[in-house]
């Protein structure tokens, strides 16, 4: 226990330009003006985010068998996914999906750090969309700073107004598409813009539009650094072999400006490293951190600083990779271990849960049967001298089409089935069928006889069958 954990004293340096002087006392933080950056990682990140943004926008409009293909109808308690319909009785599938998502996140984080936040998180994608409109209307980073510093004039007014209009348009469209997952999207758009939508539909559209506008327009990095819990517990999954965006101090220190014509060897002879201290890595960071201060929980692993630094290194004719995706072990001169117990453990559990989910889907029967005994009397004797038990069958059709079912009873010798043995149940509906089962008392050896009700569809092309146990009582 004599070993001490090495501690590195790091004092973060904020170099982002603060808010304007006259508004500073109204702000709880410094305004971050993110600089645009170009590079392969940034291109991949944008197209990756826009791809999933496109999926989000297109999926509600898909149709299957003449109906909306993906619809989570909470009012009807029915979730439709193309040919699959899930009901409240199927909520175990939701639990499996949450568990799989959690372990997938743990696995990816252990391997490549917080890449979910940098490449796939909806907050990151919508912030990029809002920032894109901001740059197109108000200009580059330096122009936006100067625009905010100068007093209001016509040029500033129309730019700010145009930006707000675009932001609200994107926020409203996002809210409509999101609510369209829970109510028919085509009717939603028509009713909303013709002012015919109900109170709650309108409320949720406006609510989610306000959330989108506030999060992507103003809160931005606050969501990543203060509200999102992922930033707080991600360190529990990191180890020395986790790939993260990191600055190589062995190459970069000591920092300092230098003439571009001066050779790299001459610069090193003066005691300077490869970092020219241009602060571009800080200016392009969406959370406003300096990656040169080491690993910080605010870093979302977006790689913007990697592209910015590589661009500077290319101009200086220095090798790229001063800031790169690497591991702590590699920065220390070692070799990154890809296959390690924690990573393998997450992968094994992830595959196990995926297998369980797939198996449950394969074995799922789109039929539910509930058998309710008559509570008024345990049994009764008919005019023919038979012992009769009365039951009520609740048959739920979980398919997307009307289905005819046949009911059979087994386990009771020489029984008589009293009532309809076939019933047609509409898609997604529950039908109630009262029936009676009778037999001669001589066939009953015990006061309680175990019997089975089998409900089967008569459609031979898509036959389903379900057997439920019950009891036949006598004495």
Over the chain (475 residues), what is each successive 10-residue block's mean pLDDT? Answer: 53 45 44 90 90 94 90 86 83 89 91 88 92 94 92 93 96 96 94 92 96 93 85 80 92 90 89 92 92 88 93 92 92 89 93 93 88 87 90 90 91 90 89 92 89 88 86 87
**What pLDDT shows up at residue 376?**
82
Contact 309, 44 (CB under 8 A): no
Q: Is 315 exposed, middle or buried (0-12, 13-18, 19+ CB in 10 A)?
A: exposed
Distance of CA 152 to the CA centre of its chain: 41
**What pLDDT shows up at residue 370?**
92
Cα distance between residue 165 and residue 230, in whole Å: 32
**What pLDDT shows up at residue 27?**
44
**What pLDDT shows up at residue 17?**
45
Contact 433, 395 (CB under 8 A): yes
Cα distance between residue 71 and residue 59, in whole Å: 10
Contact 346, 107 (CB under 8 A): yes
Distance of CA 186 to the CA centre of its chain: 24
Distance of CA 260 to the CA centre of its chain: 46
Distance of CA 365 to the CA centre of its chain: 27
**What pLDDT shows up at residue 461?**
67
Q: Which domains does the chain have, with CATH numbers?
A: 38-86+121-236 (no CATH), 244-331 (no CATH), 367-473 (2.60.40.10)
Q: Hey, how many other C-beta atoms are within 10 angstroms of the C-beta on 429? A: 11
Q: At 396, is the secondary structure helix, strand, or coil?
A: strand
């Amino acid at each position: 226990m004599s070993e001490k954990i090495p501690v590195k004293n790091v004092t973060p340096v904020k170099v982002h330009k603060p808010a304007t002087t006259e508004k500073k006392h109204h702000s709880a933080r410094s305004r971050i003006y993110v600089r645009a950056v170009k590079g392969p990682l940034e291109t991949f990140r944008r197209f990756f985010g826009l791809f999933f943004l496109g999926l989000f926008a297109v999926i509600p409009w898909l149709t299957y068998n003449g109906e909306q293909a993906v619809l989570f109808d909470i009012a009807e308690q029915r979730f439709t996914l193309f040919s699959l319909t899930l009901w409240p009785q199927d909520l175990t599938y939701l639990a499996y999906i949450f568990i799989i998502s959690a372990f997938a996140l743990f696995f990816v984080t252990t391997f490549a750090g917080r890449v979910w936040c940098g490449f796939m998180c909806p907050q990151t994608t919508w912030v990029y969309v809002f920032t894109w409109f901001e740059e197109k209307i108000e200009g580059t980073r330096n122009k936006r700073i100067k625009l905010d510093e100068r007093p209001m004039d016509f040029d500033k007014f129309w730019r700010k107004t145009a930006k707000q209009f675009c932001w609200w348009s994107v926020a409203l469209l996002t809210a409509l598409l999101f609510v369209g997952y829970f109510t028919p999207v085509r009717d939603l758009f028509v009713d909303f813009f013709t002012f015919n939508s109900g109170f709650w539909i309108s409320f949720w559209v406006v609510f989610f539009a306000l959330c989108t506008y506030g999060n992507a327009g103003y809160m931005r990095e606050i969501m990543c650094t203060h509200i999102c819990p992922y930033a707080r517990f991600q360190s529990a999954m990191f180890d020395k072999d986790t790939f993260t965006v990191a600055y190589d101090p062995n190459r970069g220190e000591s920092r300092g400006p230098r003439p571009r014509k001066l050779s790299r060897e001459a610069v090193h002879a003066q005691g300077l490293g490869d970092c020219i201290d241009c602060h571009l890595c800080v200016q392009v960071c969406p959370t406003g951190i300096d990656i040169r201060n080491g690993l910080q929980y605010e870093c979302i692993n977006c790689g913007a600083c990697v592209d910015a630094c590589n661009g500077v290194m290319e101009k200086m004719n220095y090798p790229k990779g001063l800031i790169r995706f690497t591991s702590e072990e590699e920065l220390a001169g070692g070799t990154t271990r890809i296959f390690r117990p924690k990573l393998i453990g997450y992968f094994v559990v992830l595959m196990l849960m995926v297998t369980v989910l797939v198996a449950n889907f394969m074995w799922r029967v789109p039929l539910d049967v509930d058998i309710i005994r008559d509570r008024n009397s345990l049994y009764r004797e008919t005019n023919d001298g038979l012992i009769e038990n009365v039951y009520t069958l609740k048959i739920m059709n979980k398919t997307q089409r009307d289905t005819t079912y046949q009911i059979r009873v087994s386990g009771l010798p020489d029984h008589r089935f009293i009532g309809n043995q076939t019933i047609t149940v509409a898609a997604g509906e529950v039908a109630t069928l009262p029936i009676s089962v009778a037999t001669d008392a001589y066939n009953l050896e015990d006061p309680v006889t175990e019997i089975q009700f089998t409900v089967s569809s008569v459609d031979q092309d898509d036959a389903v069958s379900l057997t439920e146990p019950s009891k036949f009582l006598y004495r």
